[in-house]
Chains A and B, each alone.
Chain A
């Protein structure tokens, strides 16, 4: 009850620390109103520079978890710590502002961090170049393809200059070819920018393709049920035997986890 009140106070519950893992969740439980727990006793640590994938079925609380780390919402109990300032978040839905051009979207993020006008311009161009959209800066959002939009969104997230990037199924709506290209792009950018990434997905192969580590989340309530270290060197390919091999094993566990729910009802 105490912690619910704390949550409602609206004060930031995410503590910013300066040493230790980049993100750490300790005993995090989250429920909305009187509904059953969405997340229950989730404890996780993301090391500095790590690429962690959280894998879970639809509706298991992945977006909720990222919302807690991004300080959009407060945990019912438990604590969330993020090292070195506010993380940036790439949303599941296409979330660029349609009244701005691609470059203006990136510039707005810079502006809100307090950057000056000249600096904004230059930084935005650099960031768009980084996601290889140098020439699309003046395009409006609706003129961009799905893949280009997500790259602009990535540039906007990078504009926040935080070391921790949270990604909520950013490629779920894209076709397989584009997704494959963006996986490669993300790995490249993450290496060059030395990012810590917390990546959420319901796609097992995607998790194995990208992550240094994969965490399997159960559904209703969401708990950490398994962790897998992915000892496959980058560059990886999503169709490679190593990736497939681990994916098969994880899928088996995921199915067992899902089957458990059918047995009870």
Chain B
């Protein structure tokens, strides 16, 4: 081939490449963040306004239906006494530790069940069954076994989160296109190298989905456990704080407690798991670049 012909080909190719790849415009991070933030904020604002309106209509006495202001005051009182911070810290720490322990157990379990056929046949159905069993059902048993100690709480959290994480890993492994494994083999990846460079990265989206769900389950289980097993030895958690308010027939405190639980759940989801999942999906082009 002559030099001239080769240059022509290079130019032709460069032209095609330019035509066929879309030019993506980078939108600023702040703008993306703002676009994702204002609609829910607006909605929450509207909800609170509606709540105030209902309160103003005096449909129920205020000891049964508190106003937004009363709820806020109750929250501030708990803050001033230091109970709120202590409870939030305790619960988040328990939830976080429980989640990490679930991660350490659920991941290898998922790998084992997902990759070994005989184990899968035996354990698979039970694992997916466990996922649909509300882990709060374990609380009475846990109390009888472990008394009212941290063990009870972690036991319940583990039973809530481990199946989710393991199942996430399994479904991630199931979604790995067989083509990728064949490609890996052609490239010379076998055994451990294949797992590390092909199987695990390919399974990551499903696994991250499982982590997200696993966190939701551990947080839910934790609250159930805290609500049911309230004793001084256990120390104060958000669930216990909520139950305290119930005992005192303090409806504003109860609503404040529910909000606290909700807000923590949302915050961790938004700050940790949503960005993680978005990142994994975006890198693979499974997500539109802009919102």
Chain A positions near chain B (C-beta within 8 angstroms): 70, 72, 86, 88-89, 91, 93, 95, 97-100, 108-109, 111-113, 132-133, 136, 139-148, 156, 160, 177-178, 181, 184-185, 187-188, 191, 234-235
Tell me if B16 and A181 are in contact (CB < 8 A). yes
When A72-B182, A97-B198, A147-B16 are in contact, do A235 and B24 touch as well, CB less than 8 Å?
A: no
Tell me if B187 and A181 are in contact (CB < 8 A). no
Tell me if B13 and A185 are in contact (CB < 8 A). yes
B248 CB–A CB distance under 8 Å: no
Tell me if A147 and B20 are in contact (CB < 8 A). yes
Tell me if B189 and A112 are in contact (CB < 8 A). yes
Tell me if B16 and A143 are in contact (CB < 8 A). no
* Interface CB pairs A-B, < 8 A, 24: A70-B186, A91-B179, A91-B183, A97-B180, A97-B183, A97-B201, A97-B202, A98-B284, A99-B202, A99-B284, A100-B201, A111-B197, A140-B284, A141-B285, A143-B24, A145-B17, A147-B16, A156-B187, A160-B187, A178-B20, A181-B13, A181-B16, A188-B9, A191-B1
Chain B positions near chain A (C-beta within 8 angstroms): 1, 5-6, 9-10, 12-14, 16-17, 20-21, 24, 179-180, 182-183, 185-189, 193, 197-198, 201-202, 204, 283-286
Contacts of A93 in B (CB 8 A): 179
Contacts of A72 in B (CB 8 A): 182, 185-186
Contacts of B197 in A (CB 8 A): 108, 111-112
When A99-B201, A140-B285 are in contact, do A185 and B20 touch as well, CB less than 8 Å?
A: no
When A89-B186, A160-B187 are in contact, do A178 and B16 touch as well, CB less than 8 Å?
A: yes
CB distance from A260 to the nearest CB of B (A): 32
Tell me if B9 and A181 are in contact (CB < 8 A). yes
Bound CA–CA A22/B53 (angstroms): 84
Tell me if A160 and B188 are in contact (CB < 8 A). yes
Contacts of A178 in B (CB 8 A): 16, 20
Instruction: Point out which of B1, B12, B183, B201 has the most chain A C-beta atoms below 10 A from its C-beta.
Output: B183
Tell me if A188 and B1 are in contact (CB < 8 A). yes
CB distance from A58 to the nearest CB of B (A): 18
Which single residue of chain B is at the shortest CB-CB distance from A144? Answer: B21
CB distance from B21 to the nearest CB of A (A): 5
Instruction: Point out which of A97, A111, A160, A188 has the most chain B C-beta atoms below 10 A from its C-beta.
Output: A97
Bound CA–CA A133/B193 (angstroms): 27
For the A-B complex, the count of residue pairs with Cβ-Cβ distances under 8 Å equals 89
CB distance from B14 to the nearest CB of A (A): 7
Tell me if B17 and A185 are in contact (CB < 8 A). no
Tell me if B180 and A145 are in contact (CB < 8 A). no
Contacts of B17 in A (CB 8 A): 133, 136, 145, 147-148
Contacts of A160 in B (CB 8 A): 187-188
Contacts of B179 in A (CB 8 A): 91, 93, 95
Contacts of B285 in A (CB 8 A): 98, 140-143
Bound CA–CA A72/B179 (angstroms): 11
CB distance from A106 to the nearest CB of B (A): 10
Contacts of A177 in B (CB 8 A): 16
CB distance from B173 to the nearest CB of A (A): 15
Contacts of A112 in B (CB 8 A): 187-189, 193, 197
Tell me if B20 and A91 are in contact (CB < 8 A). no
CB distance from A186 to the nearest CB of B (A): 11
Bound CA–CA A256/B20 (angstroms): 39
Bound CA–CA A209/B87 (angstroms): 75
Tell me if B188 and A146 are in contact (CB < 8 A). no
New A-B contacts (12) at CB < 8 Å, excluding given A72-B185, A160-B187: A86-B188, A95-B183, A108-B187, A112-B193, A144-B21, A145-B17, A145-B20, A148-B17, A160-B188, A191-B1, A234-B1, A235-B5
Bound CA–CA A219/B200 (angstroms): 38
Instruction: Point out which of B17, B182, B198 has the most chain A C-beta atoms below 10 A from its C-beta.
Output: B17
Which single residue of chain A is at the shortest CB-CB distance from B9? Answer: A184
When A108-B197, A140-B283, A188-B9 are in contact, do A146 and B20 touch as well, CB less than 8 Å?
A: yes
Bound CA–CA A234/B1 (angstroms): 8
**Which residue of the partner chain, among A86, A99, A144, contacts B283 with CB atoms under 8 Å?**
A99
Contacts of B21 in A (CB 8 A): 139, 143-145, 148
Contacts of A100 in B (CB 8 A): 201
Bound CA–CA A113/B258 (angstroms): 57
CB distance from B100 to the nearest CB of A (A): 24
Contacts of B13 in A (CB 8 A): 132, 181, 185
Which single residue of chain B is at the shortest CB-CB distance from A96? Answer: B183
CB distance from B16 to the nearest CB of A (A): 6
CB distance from A4 to the nearest CB of B (A): 21
CB distance from A240 to the nearest CB of B (A): 15
Tell me if A95 and B204 are in contact (CB < 8 A). no
Which single residue of chain B is at the shortest CB-CB distance from A100? Answer: B201
